[in-house]
């Protein structure tokens, strides 16, 4: 098969590359503006909220305990910890198997980037859940759960309601002592925000890579001699499966503006491929990334647009969870 020399300046200095580069630049600028506008808690201090109104938090606001709490109060956070730990072990085993077979060269593919990101998500999630379970145990102090209304509730349900009540009180109080101020802050730290971003990027990227593989690459672009082995199947199945399970168990929200992070994640991969091919003449991991084709701008535009339904489908799954929970408010 003839392959164009990707190190030749003529490969890049043409209308196809400049059109695709314009796409990339527009996405970078647009995503950056969206993230700047919506990410983070905004000015959610009690003083600011009294001046501007009670709900001045941005869409990207994250409650301090959302990263480790479960979607319903009767499920103990330890179950989410066990789930994340099991998922991390399975995904790490698959990742190691792939690396043993193909080496670090497997990271030439977007699928490997995404699978590694999903593995990191469950690894970090396990650590956060361990910390959350420790916080939960610390709140089980004598006298904390002693109301008559707690008789028919689990310990976790009682602690979760008490924590929410403490947060509401802390948002209207001034001059709390140092320990109270540190434990009752409604906003969360950088790690938890990063964790939620990783969750949404991993979810969208996994849906994208699996959709492209099962509906385009596997049936149309792979040679007839290709045989689907267990590792390849696992890499294009368990990433989404474990993320969907985690989405139903966790309490994380799924604000749609974080599609911008998914777009940037994909752009980083594209820039990596461009840089690699500009330095070394090599084959493209995905034929639709080849800039020598006159249809390259159309392919790049299609890959950019397909991220929207992929991210939206996972967002729809999260909305389905909230819809089902709304039918049984007594369990939330």
pLDDT in tens, 208-245: 999 999 999 999 989 888 999 999 999 999 999 999 99
Among 155-159, 205-209, 263-267, 326-330, where is mean pLDDT lowest?
155-159
DSSP calls for 51-86: HH-S----TT--BTTTTT-BSSTTS-HHHHHHHHHH
Structure tokens that stand for 43 in this block: 């000015």
Structure tokens that stand for 73 in this block: 């109060």
Query: In degrees rounded to 5, what are phi and psi of residue 280?
Result: -135, 135
pLDDT of residue 60: 78
pLDDT in tens, 244-257: 999 999 999 999 99
pLDDT of residue 132: 94
Of 203, 221, 223, nearest to 212 (Cα)? 221
Query: In degrees rounded to 5, what are phi and psi of residue 163?
Result: -65, -40
pLDDT in tens, 153-164: 455 555 555 555
pLDDT in tens, 129-138: 999 999 988 8
pLDDT at 172 over 50: no
pLDDT of residue 47: 55
- CA 317, CA 206: separation in Å to the nearest integer? 14
Domain map (residue ranges) of the chain: 9-40+63-140+186-331
C-alpha distance from residue 82 to each of 106, 130, 133, 249 (Å): 29, 10, 11, 11
- CA 160, CA 154: separation in Å to the nearest integer? 10
pLDDT in tens, 60-109: 778 878 999 999 988 999 999 999 999 999 999 999 999 999 999 999 99
- pTM for the complete prediction? 0.85
Tell me the Ramachandran region of residue 42: left when phi exceeds 0, alpha when psi lies from -120 to 50, beta otherwise: left
Report helix angle 190-212 to 259-279, nearest 10: 70
DSSP calls for 119-187: HHHHHHHHHHHHHHHHHHHHH--TTTS-SGGGTTS-HHHHHHHHHHHHHHHHTT--S--HHHHHHS-SB
């Amino acid at each position: 098969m003839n392959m164009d020399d990707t190190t030749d300046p003529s490969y890049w200095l043409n209308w196809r590359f400049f059109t695709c580069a314009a796409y990339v630049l527009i996405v970078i600028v647009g995503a950056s503006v969206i993230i700047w506008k919506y990410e983070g808690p905004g000015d959610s201090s009690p003083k600011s909220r009294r001046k501007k109104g009670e709900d001045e938090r941005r869409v990207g606001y994250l409650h301090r305990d959302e990263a480790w709490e479960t979607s319903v109060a009767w499920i103990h956070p330890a179950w989410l910890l066990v789930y994340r730990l099991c998922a991390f072990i399975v995904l790490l085993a698959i990742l190691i198997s792939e690396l043993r077979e193909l080496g670090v060269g497997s990271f030439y593919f977007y699928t490997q980037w995404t699978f590694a990101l999903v593995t990191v998500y469950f690894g970090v999630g396990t650590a956060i859940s361990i910390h959350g379970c420790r916080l939960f145990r610390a709140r089980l102090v004598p006298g904390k759960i002693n109301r008559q209304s707690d008789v028919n509730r689990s310990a976790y349900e009682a602690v979760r309601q008490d924590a929410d009540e403490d947060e509401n009180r802390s948002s209207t109080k001034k001059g709390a002592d140092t320990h109270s101020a540190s434990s009752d802050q409604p906003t969360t730290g950088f790690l938890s925000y990063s964790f939620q971003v990783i969750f949404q990027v991993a979810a969208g990227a996994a849906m994208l890579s699996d959709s492209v593989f099962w509906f385009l690459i596997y049936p149309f672009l792979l040679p007839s001699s290709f045989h689907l082995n267990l590792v390849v199947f696992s890499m294009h199945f368990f990433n989404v499966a474990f993320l969907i399970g985690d989405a139903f168990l966790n309490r994380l929200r799924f604000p749609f503006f974080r599609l911008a992070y998914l777009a940037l994640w994909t752009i980083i991969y594209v820039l990596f491929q461009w840089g690699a091919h500009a330095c070394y003449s090599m084959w493209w991991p995905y034929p639709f990334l080849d800039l020598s084709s006159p249809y390259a701008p159309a392919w790049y535009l299609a890959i950019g647009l397909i991220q929207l339904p992929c991210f939206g489908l996972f967002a729809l799954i999260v909305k389905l969870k909230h819809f089902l929970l709304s039918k049984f408010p007594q369990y939330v």
